[in-house]
Structure formats: C-alpha cells, structure tokens
Amino acid sequence: MLVRIGLIAEGGYPYVSGDARLWCDRLVRGLGQHEFDVYALSRSERQEDEGWVPLPPQVSRVRTAPLWAAEDDGVVYGRRARRRFAECYGELVGTLCAGGATDLSGVSGAAEHASATEADRFGNALYGLAELARDEGGLVGALRSEAAVRALERACRARGALRTAREARVPDLLAVAAHLEHALRPLSLDWYEDDGLGSVDLCHATSGGAAALPGLLAHHFSGVPLLLTEYGVRLRTHYLAAPDSSPAVRSLLAALHGRLAAEAYSRAALITPGNGHARRWQERCGADRAKLRTVYPGMDASRFAEVGEAPECAEPDSLVWVGRIEPAKDIVSLLHAFAEVRKEEPKTRLRIVGAPSGAEGEAYLGHCRALAAQLFPDEAEGPHTVGHNPVSFEEIGGPEIPTLADAYASGAVAVLSSVVEGFPIGLVEAMFSGRATVSTDVGAVVEVIGGTGLVVPPRNPRALAEACVALLRDPERRERLGAAARARALELFTVEQNVAAFHGIYLEIVSRTPVRRLVLDEAGDPLPFAVPAEAHVPGRWTERTSRLVARGGPARPPGAPVRATALPATEGAR
C-alpha cells in the first residue's frame, strides 16, 4: 500500500545543516515504497544558502518557507477582517494570560473542565486566525499591527489574568507580540491548499513547535492525521533556552508554547517520543498515554560490527571514555575514580577519547590534563624506558585511533561519567561495540542500558571506581555484559528498527484514521467510490480530471472506528 506522507521539518531535513536530517534521510530512504512530500521551514538565511542533501526519488516534492524573515505581505484588511482578527487574537492572548496549559497536576472535576475549556478556546482562536490568514492571504501585517498590541494589553489587564502578566509593561507587550508573530508565521503559509498538505495521507511532523503547527492546520483544514515525533521536547528546550527577559514576557511565552504543545498532543493521531524522558514530558503536558509510542532513535550499527563481534581484541586493563569534552561530562570525577581504581588495580590505563567543544570545553580539557598530570605520575616499565602517563587524552583520527569503533575497541570497559545527559549516544555506541559499561545514572541512561551494564550515581567517584574494578577483575562477566549489551542495542537502537517502527506506525494511522476525500464531478455533486482503496498503488495510473476536495470540519474522535465511506452506494464511476 502506498502512503503519501507529508514530512514537515523545521530547520532540519532536507537542509545540509539541518538538525535531524540524518534520521529523516534514513527514514525516507528506508521507506522507498512510500511517497514523501517534504515541507521544510528554514531557520536562517545561512541554512538556506548551504543547500539540500541529495534527495532520493521517493521524495516527490519539496516546499520550503523561511521562518527567519517574514516579508510584510502588504495585505490590508477590510473592516470585517479586522474585526475577525481582533476577536481571534484577543481570544488567543486571553487564554495565554489566563495561564499555561501546564498546571494540570492534581486538577479534577471543575478545574479539569475549566482547563479543557481554556484549551478549547485556544484551539478555536488559533484555527480562527489560520482561517483568516487563508481567506485574506496573510497574517503578518496584522500580527505586527497596533491592534494586536492593544488586544494583548487588554488581555493582560483583564480580570483573572496571571499576576506576572498584569505587571507587563509596554516593552514587554511589544516583545510578546513580536514573538507571537514569529511563532504564528506558519499560519500565513500557502501549504494548506488541496494540492499541498491537503493532498497527503498523513502528516509527519519531525519535531514539536513550529513544525507541528502546519500539521495541526492540515488536520484542521483537510482532516489529515498528524504523527508527531519528538526526540527532544520543544517545550523543555524553550524553557532551557528562554532569553533573559522580564517575568511577564517569560510567563506569556511559556503559556504560548505550553498551549501549542498541548494542542499538538491532543490533535495528533499518534505521538512518538524518542525516549522515556521525552515521553514523561509529553504525558505531563497533556499527551494521552494511549497515543504514545516510544521509537528509539536508530544508529548505524555496521561500523561497530567488527569490534562488537570480536570482544577479545580489547586490552584487558584499560578503561575508555569517549565523548565530547565539556564540563557536563564530569571528567574530573572520572579521574578521581580512576585514582581509586589504580589503588586496587595498579596496571590499569584510562583512555579519554574526544575533542573539546567550544572555548569552555578547551578550558575544561586543559584543567583535566593538569589534574591527570597531578594525580598520576608518568610510569615506565623499566629503568631504561621512557614513561607514559596512565591517562591518555586522544582524538579520533589519530594514528592509534583512526575510527570511532577503534576507540571503543581499545578499552575493556567503557565508562560514562556525565552529570547531565540527554540520550546517551556514546553509551549506545559502546553497546554496539559489545563493551561492558559503567555509567552514571543520568538522563536516559538507565532506559538505554537496561540490565546490560553497571549504573552508579553521578558525582560519586568511589562508586564508579568500585564498579570499574569489579568489571576489570571479572573478564567473564565483562564478556557476558558486553554480549548482552550488544544484543540489546541491535534489538532496540538500529536504523532498521527505527524505520520499521515508523513504517508500522504509518500504516496504523492510515488504516485507523484515513483521510476521506470527496471527489466532485463537473456539476459539483459528490462522486461516490471515486477514490477507492486501490487508488493507493505506486505510480499514477489515472488521470486526475475531477477536483479533489478535502473534507474539513470538526475532527473525529481519535481511535473511533471509521467506516470507509458514508456516501450512498450508487453507481457513479467516472
């Protein structure tokens, strides 16, 4: 069955410098039996200038739009459009000033009802603005106008507004209005016509935030089901990256992003978080548990095949740490742990493989080198040989470690000492390499490692050392753990599983919530059976003479059984 997928990416695929281009590329290439329409929002002029990655033939079309610059579209609204805009915008900012969608905890009964009403108000206002943008041909000018700022001020001063919103000053109002204009730019796009996102079978938003908005609108206008993939929760990224502005601005923006996320989660047919951490955030922001399917990111396992299948090549007495050198990795604690290890196992060596990231990383690397030199004097085998430090700092690409796989091959035990970690890619690589691992309990480490490695608390060098010593002294256990880790990684974190999971999810969505399109004949009457199930075969085998009209209107409840067609079964073939 051929599915036409609208892949929506923000600042990612197909741009060369995109964020998640690698997995999107693998996904598109891995699902050659489907057809992809790529809708890309670019994040900066530089990104646009750098060009695209080579696209496979299953990508039938690419449409791009800049998020970084919105030209004044010169659309002048009439009186009615102005009133419509003021109403919708006022509703939208009214819900923002009433607080975010995120205070869901412990609410019940009336409070829950009120919160649902607010979410509904937000959604209606958002779609109202989108319809206005579609009817009038643009929204940018209106969002920048004084009317918008006035509506915002009214909402902030209204009864029941947030305390922080009530304190908003004029610069705050302007900042919020500018940010809203930026966030709502996807509303002004011309992607939602019947030959655009209206013609696909399903929208796949590759991240939350701005990429989810076109998917939401396609769902609203044409009933196209939305699949939302989030490897990192956008709302959380927003909190971490929030600029230093006044509390009023931050609370309103937090409310906006919370509301947008909640709306996307509630409208999406399925949501695929990339790990348990993202999943918890999504649940917390109102995603229905039944819609969540964790799809782990896939990584290329072939690079580690040779290393992973020959565990005996490892040096028995060496620990290896691989990663980007930065303070969050807590190499200092690793060095202290290694000092403890050396007390028990004097012949052990530690290889730290990786390049520093940024100026901060450089300084940290220097600090770590100095500490290593202080803690461990150089050692030589005999009185006539040149000594070496038991701790070595190396980079991939050198003569000893030409590739990443060689880095893991050089150690018997892979160590991860971070205090902060998202999805630990280095750990997965170590698992692919069949190495026994000792890691700190941060981020998604426990979820990734399962039972196939040792986990210690972060910032605890003694525990780290004890775990390392235990593994160094027990080659058999090391081997067992390494084999288990490799098996687990091959099961969960390969590209193939990722692609297969998405393939299954696509089919599930298309079968559960198909888009129902009505085909009209010349007289404007609906043609029954004009789009039979067999229409989904590769290639175009029919001429498109009649007009495809997407069926809009209210969304049907998710998961409800859907009949193939509700039209009377009369003979109406073309």
27 binds other proteins, rule: CB under 8 A = no
102 binds other proteins, rule: CB under 8 A = yes
Select from 44, 64, 124, 246 the one that contacts other proteins (CB under 8 A): 246
Of 484-513, which residues contact other proteins (CB under 8 A)? 484
146 binds other proteins, rule: CB under 8 A = yes
52 binds other proteins, rule: CB under 8 A = no
Closest CA to 283 of 105, 498, 443, 420: 105
223 vs 274, which CB is nearer to other proteins?
274
429 binds other proteins, rule: CB under 8 A = yes
175 binds other proteins, rule: CB under 8 A = yes
Distance of CA 254 to CAs 68, 157, 164, 258, 422, Å?
20, 18, 12, 6, 22
* Cβ 398 vs Cβ 387: under 8 Å: no
150 binds other proteins, rule: CB under 8 A = yes
173 vs 530, which CB is nearer to other proteins?
173
Task: DSSP letter for 423, please.
Answer: S
What proportions of the chain, in percent to the nearest 5, are helix, strand and coil?
A: 50, 15, 40
Look up tokens 């019947």; give the residue: 194
Neighbours of 357 (CB within 10 A): 15
242 binds other proteins, rule: CB under 8 A = yes
Select from 5, 7, 21, 335 the one that contacts other proteins (CB under 8 A): 21
167 binds other proteins, rule: CB under 8 A = yes
How many Å apart are CA 294 and CA 466, to the nearest integer?
33
Choose one: 271-279, 307-315, 543-551, 553-561; the region binding other proteins (CB under 8 A).
Answer: 271-279
473 binds other proteins, rule: CB under 8 A = no
Q: Site map for other proteins, 203-232, x if CB under 8 A?
A: ----x-----------------------xx
Phi then psi dihedrals of residue 450, to 5 deg: 60, -125
How many Å apart are CA 442 and CA 457, to the nearest integer?
8
The token pair that represents 493 in the structure block? 């974190």
410 binds other proteins, rule: CB under 8 A = no
Choose one: 262-270, 294-302, 374-382, 507-515; the region binding other proteins (CB under 8 A).
Answer: 294-302
Select from 46, 83, 113, 163 the one that contacts other proteins (CB under 8 A): 163
Query: Cβ of residue 551: shortest distance to other proteins, in angstroms?
Result: 35
423 binds other proteins, rule: CB under 8 A = yes
270 binds other proteins, rule: CB under 8 A = no
259 binds other proteins, rule: CB under 8 A = no
Q: How far apart are the first and last CA of the chain?
A: 23
446 binds other proteins, rule: CB under 8 A = yes
Select from 14, 138, 274, 528 the one that contacts other proteins (CB under 8 A): 274
Burial 156-180 (b: 16+ CB within 10 A, else e): beeeebbebbeebeeebbebbbebb
How many Å apart are CA 211 and CA 227, to the nearest integer?
11
396 vs 548, which CB is nearer to other proteins?
396
Distance of CA 238 to CAs 232, 253, 361, Å?
11, 9, 24
β-strand 318-322 against 413-416: which pairing, if any?
A: parallel
131 vs 429, which CB is nearer to other proteins?
429
Closest CA to 180 of 101, 128, 249, 132: 249
Look up tokens 């687990």; give the residue: 488
Choose one: 52-60, 189-197, 272-280, 534-542; the region binding other proteins (CB under 8 A).
Answer: 272-280
The token pair that represents 119 in the structure block? 């979410």
Query: Cβ of residue 299: shortest distance to other proteins, in angstroms?
Result: 5
Identify the sign of the CA torsion 95, 100, 102, 107.
negative
Looking at the chain, the number of H-run helices and the number of E-run strands are 21, 15
- Surface-to-core class of residue 234, CB atoms within 10 Å of its CB (0-12 exposed, 13-18 middle, 19+ buried): buried
458 binds other proteins, rule: CB under 8 A = yes
359 binds other proteins, rule: CB under 8 A = no
Look up tokens 């098996």; give the residue: 487
Choose one: 28-36, 48-56, 246-254, 383-391; the region binding other proteins (CB under 8 A).
Answer: 246-254
Select from 10, 201, 326, 394 the one that contacts other proteins (CB under 8 A): 326
Select from 58, 392, 460, 497 the one that contacts other proteins (CB under 8 A): 460
7 binds other proteins, rule: CB under 8 A = no
Of 105-134, which residues contact other proteins (CB under 8 A)? 105
Residues in contact with other proteins, counted by CB under 8 A, come to a total of 96
* Cβ 217 vs Cβ 130: under 8 Å: yes
Select from 54, 57, 78, 170 the one that contacts other proteins (CB under 8 A): 170
328 binds other proteins, rule: CB under 8 A = yes
Mapped onto helix, strand or coil, the DSSP state of residue 553 is: coil
* Cβ 343 vs Cβ 314: under 8 Å: no
Choose one: 113-121, 247-255, 387-395, 523-531; the region binding other proteins (CB under 8 A).
Answer: 247-255
450 binds other proteins, rule: CB under 8 A = yes
365 binds other proteins, rule: CB under 8 A = no
Cis? peptide before 14, omega within 30° of 0: yes
